[in-house]
Amino acid sequence: MQTEEPNVLQVERKFFSALIEGNSAELDHLLSDEFLLIDVLTGAETTKGTLLAALSSGQLKFENINPNESRMRLYHCAAVVTGTTRMNGRFADAPFVLFSRYTHVYSHQQGEWHLVSAQGTQITSAE
């Protein structure tokens, strides 16, 4: 299944780009219907619908996302990508700047990779 590795990483890059662009249509395609995000600041669970609504309404805006190192592990029809990222944007009227470590879980469904789960943990110390 090594031939699938570039496809997972390509979807990973598309995910970050779609967040910055606020491209809800692209995110709707990349995220599985069961997608669940564990919020980096509060630990709250955010569904696909809630994330897409926040981006579409402008309540959530990513201005910049810089993924740093990332590591991918492939398991038959699943892939786990971990890494760090620096990001900034706005939630409602409040600006945010975050350095975080993340885990993204992908599932190979109907011939394509889809992001099914994402969790971020804020890194508060300088690394």
Domains in the chain, CATH or no CATH each: 2-122 (3.10.450.50)
CA-nearest of 116, 118, 114, 121 to 14 is: 114
pLDDT tens for 53-87 read 999 999 999 999 999 889 999 998 999 999 999 99
Tokens of 25: 């249509």
- Structure confidence at residue 82 (pLDDT): 97
CA-nearest of 82, 67, 55 to 14 is: 67
Question: What 3-state class would DSSP assign to 121?
Answer: strand
Ranges of the chain whose pLDDT falls below 70: 1-6, 126-127
- pTM: predicted TM-score of the whole model, two decimal places: 0.89
- Structure confidence at residue 1 (pLDDT): 42
Neighbours of 87 (CB within 10 A): 21
Measure the N-to-C terminal CA separation of the chain; round to a whole number of Å: 33
